[in-house]
Amino acid sequence: MKRLSILILAVLLFGSIALVGAQSRFVVLGHKVHQQVSTGGPGGDIVSEWLKKAGVSSVEWQTLGSNNDIRDKLFREATLSSTDISVGFVLNTSLTPAVKEMFEPLDSFLASAPIEDFQDIFPGLRDAAKFDGKTYAIPFRHATSALHYNEAFFEEKGIKGPPKNIEELLEFIPKLTFTRTDGTPVYGFVIPGKGEMYANTVDLARAWDGDFVSMDYKSSANKYGMVKAISTLADLYKKGYYPKAFTSIANNDLNTWMQQGRVAMTISSTGRNTFYNDPKQSLYPGKIKTIPIPASKEIQSKYPVAPAKTEFWCMVIPKNAKNKAQAWDFIRSLSTKDATLKAALNGNGPVRASTYNDASFQKMVPYWKAEKDILDVARVAMPAFDNATQAADLFNEYAQAAIIGNMKVQDAMDRLAEEVERLLP
């Protein structure tokens, strides 16, 4: 009997210890890159100090390989009665209005335990994380579009400096469309036409402050900015300054074209600067320069540079998380100015304006000034919604028809706007 009592006592004792351990478990769901930039590199580990202060032994990083996988698991967990996930990373393209039902609104936390200088986070990122005026996510990592140009081609053709506005860029294209001495054809300007073509075309439309879908969920494909962008591409195509097979050119294809010197100018993420100038792979290392997409003279009084698209990862707290206060403390810690800088030195795309003033960051990122200027005015390609994939497919159909001349541009954009309107929330 005595042995039985001791056994029962031991079970209760160790059971309670195990329970305490389970309660202190802190799980973060995201991509491997989120873990890497948070826990190692030249900037150091930005999580370790929080662990000490919070009394948590370690963070359990659950990492998956794609945005879709992360989104699906996070959304599935958020619909359960409870979840072990404390903090989830989610891409802005997954921030549909449905997040209001799954994730904790953060305004009360921002009021009671504010994030350091929250206004320092770029406005286009903060705004895209709101629904009905409430904040549901905190930006962590961005990828933002810029214009990349081959300086060697500019020099060869006697063109001084990068374009100051979109009108000048368009004037350069015929001069930069030529055949190299080795027989390689060069196009003056190309953007990807395969895949989610709307995202690449939105960047061009932003030179006139255009949109596909506005931030208030208005179908905008037939408005001035997007019509100008499609008309521009159609004109280049008609005159032979644009690839006939543009619909087969994907992002990765165009990255290779820039390295090989088959295109003089393109629009892609600022971070591609390093890839384009890689001396082991590029024929023009050090010659690919990165600047903001130049705005039209029509809008430069409002936007010194085009309000290009940005995409960003952000941190959320599931409504069914077990310790929301601790989750917020983690987010708050990773969002300080110091943590943002250190993560940037580890390779993260910083979401704060102040990071770009740091000399160590400027030394590491040669295009820092361009990136900051873009982020001051950048906004997401379009707000997320459940039917976004169908809308993107429709864009491809009508934009391609207009560019190759099968439909008049305005007619195609009117039809597109009408069909997309029915898909919007």
Per-residue pLDDT reduced to its tens digit, 159-198: 998 999 999 999 999 999 999 999 999 999 999 999 889 9
| Mean pLDDT rounded to a whole number for the chain | 94
Pairing of strands 26-31, 85-91: parallel
The encoded tokens of residue 390 equal 């169908």
Domains recognised in the chain with CATH numbers: 24-143+310-375 (3.40.190.10), 144-308+382-421 (3.40.190.10)
Instruction: Tell the residue number behind the tokens 């971070």, with chain if given.
Output: 271
Task: Place 310 in a pLDDT band, splitting at 50, 70 and 90.
Answer: very high
- Max Cα-Cα span within the chain: 98
Whether residue 19 has pLDDT greater than 60: no
What are the C-alpha distances in Å from 29 to residues 56, 84, 217, 265, 340? 17, 10, 29, 37, 19
Mean pLDDT for 33-51 is: 97
Q: How confident is the model at residue 195, as a pLDDT? A: 87
Which helix (H) or strand (E) element contains residue 235? helix 224-238
Percent of the chain with pLDDT over 70: 94
Residue with tokens 């390689």: 184
Measure the CA–CA gap between 190 and 158, rounded to whole angstroms: 21
The pLDDT tens digits of the residues spanning 55-72 come to: 999 999 999 999 999 999
Q: How confident is the model at residue 24 (pLDDT cuts 50, 70, 90)?
A: low
* 102-122 per-position pLDDT tens digit: 999 999 999 999 999 999 999
Threshold 0.85, pTM exceeds: yes
Confidence of residue 395 (pLDDT cuts 50, 70, 90): very high
Return the beta strands (E) in 343-401 as ranges: none
